[in-house]
C-alpha cells in the first residue's frame, strides 16, 4: 500500500472524508455513552461478584453506578429505531441481506473469537462440538458472551423494520407522538399493575423493546427538539427515582432495570441532551473512530474485560475506586478498539468480499454493474 493509500485510509477511519460529513455527531456521542455504560455496568457487576472486600458505602455507590451504566441497553435499542425506521427505497430482501452482512456475520465471527479465547475451539475440536456451537449460536444461548442477548433482541426488531419504515413514511409527527405516549403509558401502567400483583399478559402481546425503538425514532425527529427541556427534566427525575427505589431494599429490578419506564425516561433525557446542546454537534475524529467500530467494540468488550480482570488481575480497588473505574474503562476502550480494528479489517471484511469475488470470477454480476 502506498503512502497516499495509507493516508486516505486513516482519513476515512477518522471520519474526515466526504462520505462522513453528513453523519450525526450527536449520535456518535450517544453511541459512545452506550458503549461506556455497557463497559461500566459489566466491569462493576463482575467486580462486585468476585471481590467480597467491597462493602458499605463503596458497595452502594458502585451498585448505583452499575445501574446507571445499565442504561446502555435502552440506548442501543433507541439508536436502532432512530436510524433504521427512516424511510429508504429498499426491499425487505435487500434490508435483510444488508443486516446479515453488517450484523449477523460479525456477530458469528466474534462468537468464534470467543470460542477460541475460551479454548473451546482447537485443532482437536470434534465435529459434534462444532455443530453444538453453531446450534447454541442459532438458539441465542451464548453463555461465553452474555451480552449477546441484547443483539438478539435487536435482530428481532430488524424483522419488522422494512414494514414499519413504510408505515412511518407518511405518518404525521403528531400521530408518532401519540403512538409514543401510548407506548409510555402502557409500560408505566404495566409496572403499576405488577406493583399491586395484578399481573397481565400485555407485555407478551406488545413487546416493550419494540416500543422503545419507536421512542428512539421519535426523539431523533427535529420537531422533538421543542420538548428537550421537559424531557431532560423528566430524565433527571427518573434518575432520582431509580436511586430512591434502590434504597427500598426490595427486588425492584423489573421497575428500574433494562426496559423499565425509569430507564426509558433516562435514555430519552440523555438523548435529548446530546441532540440539544451544540457542543455535541461538533465532529471529533476520536469519537468518530470509536463510533465507526462501536459494534465490534460492543461485541468484543467482554473478552477485553475478562482479559483485564482475570488475566491481568486488574481491580478497580487498586485505583481508589473512582480512578480505578476510569482506568478500567479506559483500558477496556483501548483494548476493545484495537481488537475490533483487527477483527473487522482482517477477518470480517475479507469474508464479506468472498461472495462478490466469486460472482465476479463467475461473471454473474456483469448485468448489475
Give the cell for residue 228. 428537550
Is residue 133 within 8 Å of 115, Cβ to Cβ? yes
Ramachandran sector of residue 119 (left: φ over 0; alpha: ψ -120 to 50; beta: rest): left
Put residue 363 in one of left, alpha, beta given phi > 0 → left and psi -120 to 50 → alpha: left
Residues 6+ apart with CB under 8 A from 206: 186
Joined together, the cell numbers standing for residue 22 give 453528513
Q: Look at residue 29 in the predicted model and tell me its pLDDT.
A: 97
Asked if 326 and 312 count as a contact pair (C-beta separation under 8 A), the reply is no
- What are the residue ranges spanned by the domains of the chain? 25-357
- Residue in the block written with cell 403509558: 185
Could you list the pLDDT tens digit for every one of the 369 residues in the chain?
566 555 565 666 665 555 656 678 999 999 999 999 999 999 998 888 777 667 788 888 888 999 999 999 999 999 999 999 999 989 999 999 999 999 999 999 999 999 999 999 998 999 999 999 999 999 999 999 999 999 999 999 999 999 999 999 888 999 999 999 999 998 888 888 877 776 655 555 458 899 999 999 999 999 999 999 999 999 999 999 999 988 886 677 778 888 899 999 999 999 999 999 999 999 899 999 999 999 999 999 999 999 998 888 887 765 566 788 888 899 999 999 999 999 999 999 999 998 877 877 786 665 444
Burial class for 7, CB neighbours closer than 10 Å (0-12, 13-18, 19+)? exposed
User: What pTM does this model have?
Assistant: 0.91
Give one DSSP letter per residue of 92-125, joined into a string: HHHHHHHHIIIIIHHHHHHHHHHHHHTT-S-TT-
Q: Using the CB atoms, write b or e for 231-252: b if 16+ within 10 Å.
A: bbebbeebbebbeebeeeeeeb
The residues, ordered by sequence, that sit 6+ positions from 347 with a Cβ below 8 Å of its Cβ are: 109
Sign of CA dihedral 340, 345, 346, 349: positive
3-state secondary structure of 18: helix
Cell numbers linked to 294: 462501536
Amino acid at each position: 500500500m502506498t503512502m497516499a493509500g495509507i493516508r486516505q485510509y486513516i482519513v476515512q477511519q477518522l471520519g474526515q472524508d466526504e462520505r462522513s460529513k453528513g453523519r450525526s455527531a450527536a449520535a456518535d456521542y450517544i453511541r459512545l455513552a452506550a458503549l461506556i455504560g455497557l463497559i461500566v455496568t459489566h466491569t462493576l457487576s463482575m467486580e462486585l461478584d468476585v471481590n467480597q472486600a467491597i462493602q458499605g458505602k463503596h458497595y452502594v455507590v458502585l451498585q448505583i453506578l452499575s445501574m446507571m451504566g445499565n442504561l446502555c441497553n435502552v440506548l442501543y435499542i433507541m439508536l436502532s429505531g432512530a436510524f433504521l425506521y427512516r424511510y429508504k427505497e429498499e426491499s425487505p430482501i435487500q434490508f435483510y441481506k444488508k443486516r446479515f452482512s453488517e450484523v449477523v456475520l460479525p456477530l458469528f465471527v466474534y462468537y468464534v473469537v470467543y470460542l477460541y479465547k475460551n479454548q473451546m475451539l482447537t485443532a482437536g475440536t470434534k465435529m459434534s462440538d462444532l455443530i453444538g456451537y453453531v446450534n447454541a449460536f442459532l438458539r441465542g444461548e451464548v453463555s461465553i458472551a452474555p451480552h449477546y442477548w441484547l443483539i438478539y433482541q435487536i435482530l428481532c426488531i430488524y424483522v419488522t423494520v422494512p414494514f414499519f419504515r413504510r408505515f412511518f413514511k407518511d405518518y404525521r409527527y403528531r400521530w408518532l407522538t401519540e403512538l409514543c405516549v401510548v407506548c409510555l403509558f402502557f409500560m408505566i401502567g404495566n409496572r403499576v399493575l405488577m406493583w399491586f400483583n395484578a399481573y397481565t399478559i400485555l407485555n407478551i402481546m406488545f413487546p416493550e423493546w419494540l416500543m422503545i425503538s419507536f421512542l428512539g425514532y421519535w426523539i431523533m425527529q427535529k420537531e422533538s427538539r421543542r420538548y428537550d427541556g421537559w424531557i431532560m427534566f423528566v430524565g433527571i427525575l427518573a434518575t432520582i427515582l431509580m436511586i430512591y427505589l434502590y434504597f427500598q431494599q426490595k427486588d425492584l429490578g423489573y421497575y428500574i432495570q433494562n426496559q423499565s419506564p425509569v430507564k426509558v425516561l433516562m435514555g430519552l433525557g440523555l438523548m435529548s441532551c446530546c441532540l440539544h446542546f451544540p457542543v455535541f454537534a461538533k465532529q471529533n475524529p476520536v469519537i468518530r473512530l470509536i463510533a465507526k467500530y462501536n459494534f465490534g467494540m460492543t461485541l468484543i468488550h467482554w473478552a477485553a474485560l475478562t482479559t483485564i480482570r482475570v488475566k491481568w488481575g486488574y481491580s478497580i480497588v487498586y485505583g481508589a475506586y473512582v480512578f480505578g473505574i476510569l482506568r478500567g474503562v479506559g483500558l477496556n476502550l483501548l483494548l476493545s478498539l484495537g481488537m475490533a480494528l483487527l477483527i473487522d479489517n482482517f477477518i470480517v471484511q475479507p469474508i464479506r468480499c468472498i461472495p462478490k469475488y466469486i460472482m465476479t470470477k463467475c461473471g454473474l454480476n456483469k448485468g448489475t454493474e
